[in-house]
Amino acid sequence: MSRNGHQVPVSADLRSRYATAGILVGDFTMPRGTAYPVHWHPLHQLAWSPKGLVRVRSEHGVWLLPPSLALWIPAGLPHTTESAGDAVMRSPYVDPACCPHITWREPTVLSVTPLFRALVDHLVRTDLAAEARARAEAVLLDELHPVPVTSVNVPLPRDARARTVAERLTADPADARTLAQWGGETGASARTLARLFVAETGLAFGQWRERLRMQAAMPHLAAGLPVQAVAHRVGYATASSFTAAFRRLVGVTPREYFPVG
């Protein structure tokens, strides 16, 4: 594996707090706009925020993680992490030696169950006896359940004409203009713009716009807005059409991704 970026070792402070642990829990705030550039860890990471949204990017895709989901990031995998709004990270770091049975080599989305939450909160403690900690760590590892969530990656075209369309739609995902209508603004024909989107993003324009709309919808859903309101904000006439598109692309419904309560 090519390890671009820099290694972020487990801090001496974190290590000293959990001297006998196989799972160390990093607990810190990420105010809006906090971003960690490309880096990697010598331990597996369970990226999880009990409050707010966290975005993780790697060569495998982009994940926007609400409190209901965590992301298993294998040791040594370069990635970036940033907050989408104010977030609180409570991220377990797992020694590969204590979980040889877990063989996920790519980022894997996991369900955050009530037991997962309780175990992470329990393992934040520094006064646990070694035996008690070991038992809780084993149960946490048993509680890691993948969910069929797909990364929503929205690559941007490089050509200035297609890039103009992409940037305008990023600013207003509900804009429903066709490529023919965009052509009058960019000086390129609909056929040229269509070719550029496929060549430079790997997606047909309609597929690209659908992904953009799903990505734009996620912060609104995380904030608790009704699905109908979110659907209208990102360009869908009905909640049912938006929900169908979300499930087709992401793998679950909006309310499965962002549970209420």
The reply to whether 1 falls in a domain is no
Structure-block tokens of residue 159: 């050509």
How many CA atoms, within 13 angstroms, populate the side-chain half-sphere of residue 194? Answer: 8
Asked, for residue 155, whether it belongs to a domain, the answer is no
**Residues 56 and 133 placed together within one structural domain of the fold:** yes
Residues 118 and 246 in one domain: no
Contact between residue 211 and residue 249 where contact means Cβ atoms under 8 Å apart:
yes
CA nearest 100: which of 68, 136, 138? Answer: 138
Residue 153 lies in a domain: no
Over the stretch 125-167, which tens digit does the pLDDT of each residue have? 888 898 999 999 999 999 999 998 888 888 899 999 999 999 9
Q: Give residue 51's domain range.
A: 6-142
Residues 90, 42 within the same domain: yes
152 in a structural domain: no
Reported as a single tens digit per residue, the pLDDT across 160-186 is 999 999 999 999 999 999 999 998 889
CATH number at residue 226: 1.10.10.60
Q: How many domains does the chain have?
A: 2
* CATH value at residue 119: 2.60.120.280
pLDDT of residue 86 exceeding 90: no
Are 45 and 64 in contact, with CB atoms under 8 Å apart? no
